[in-house]
A and B are shown apart, each in its own frame.
Chain A
Amino acid sequence: MANFETTTQTEQHSEEHGFDTKAIWRTFWILLVITCIELVVGMFIAPHYHPYKLWFNILYIIFTAAKAFYIIAEFMHLRHEIKNMIMTIAVPALLFIWFIAAFLWDGNSYKHLRNNYDPHHKEQTTTPVKNAPAHGEHEELPKPGAVH
């Protein structure tokens, strides 16, 4: 068939990676370790440092991005595709930056709008429910199913 020379070359190229079982298992362990770190941080560390929630969230985002990278690059094999193809996936994905930023920005603004101009709303949503436990001491108390 046509393109004989070029294709045999790239075929070897792709086979080389397609069969790299070692890389697959390495990816598996990386993903597992990251998940375990997330589990430990989320279960034992973060609950004791509530004021630093934002920093933990940033940490989670970094972990998530790392996991996403390994899944896309190794499992979905994208790292081993031709660079131009990677670009056709990566460039449109950049649209998410503004997609996320603008939406969350406006969501946050909506909160302030309502808190400023709807005192009833603010009072309703910022007054704790009576007799309901504040978070942290719920182990002994029944589940807060009071608000239906």
Chain B
Amino acid sequence: MAQAVPANQKWWGGGRSPFNVEYGKLMMWYFLMSDAFTFGAFLISYGTVRFSSNGWPDPNHVFSSFPFAGSMHMPLVFVSLMTFILIASSVTMVLAVGAGHAMDKKGVMKYLFFTIIGGLMFLGCQAWEWTHLHHEGAWWGRNPFLNFDGTPSSTNFTNFFFTITGFHGFHVFSGVIINIVMLIMTWRGVFERRGHYLMIEKAGLYWHFVDLVWVFVFTCFYLF
């Protein structure tokens, strides 16, 4: 106790964090803010090009398959499953953070493990979807689909789809890597020695952000 500080000290008076959070968490929040602008710019570009086109393919028609379901017409089901996986992995991530607050090493490891599994499942789903679309002839610069009204579609439908879901998938992938690193660090007792599990919290913020972005990707590509 170097100095006694009056209890009514102001948050902004200096010598402490005005938000009562450590700098790392603050940085993570502002990094995510920055990353939100990266994704925002992608999605807004997509919107701009779509607004400047006379027609656009119908997502219900393009994204209508489900693994092993053959030619059944099931629009949105698969992507909703992916959404579910991501939301569920977000929940396990929060539980890991909660376990960290309680200094429960086993709990942190358990929930981190589930989160990683969730992330890998999501990536697997995405890989399947990409492969499927690729077999249908879709790729960067190649668009086999027609517009909603049967007019020819520019390649920008697939261009944006692969770029943005790819960029999101890249984020999921790095999130999984981060979580694996966190798992290893937890296992080796790094945080226990440090006395707090704040790193898990920061990794958690990143993971939820990935989930958040997916919500927007889901709406922009699969619903609109």
Contacts and interface: CB of A to CB of B under 8 A. Distances in A.
Q: Do A's and B's CB atoms come within 8 Å in the complex?
A: yes
Interface in B1-56: 1-5, 7, 9, 11, 15-16, 18-21, 26, 29, 33, 36, 40, 44-45, 47-55
Contacts of B136: 143, 145
A96 interface: yes
A92 B102 CA distance: 33
Contacts of A146: 146
A35 B214 CA distance: 12
Given A57-B224, A81-B21, A125-B151, A39 B76 contact: yes
Contact of A135 (B2, B76, B148): B148
B50 A107 contact: yes
Interface string A74-91: 111000011011001100
Interface string B145-158: 11011111110000
B117 interface: no
Q: Please classify how large the interface on chain A is, using the bins under 10, 10 to 19, 20 to 34, 35 or more.
A: 35 or more
Given A19-B98, A47-B60, A68-B212, A2 B20 contact: no
Given A57-B223, A144-B145, 6 more contacts: A2-B1, A38-B223, A75-B93, A84-B11, A88-B19, A124-B152
28 contacts: A3-B5, A4-B4, A7-B20, A18-B97, A27-B91, A60-B223, A72-B208, A75-B204, A81-B19, A85-B19, A92-B33, A99-B40, A100-B44, A103-B44, A103-B47, A107-B48, A107-B51, A111-B52, A115-B54, A125-B54, A125-B55, A126-B54, A127-B151, A139-B73, A144-B144, A144-B145, A148-B137, A148-B144
6 shortest interchain CB distances as A-B pairs: A107-B51, A107-B48, A128-B150, A5-B7, A85-B19, A110-B52
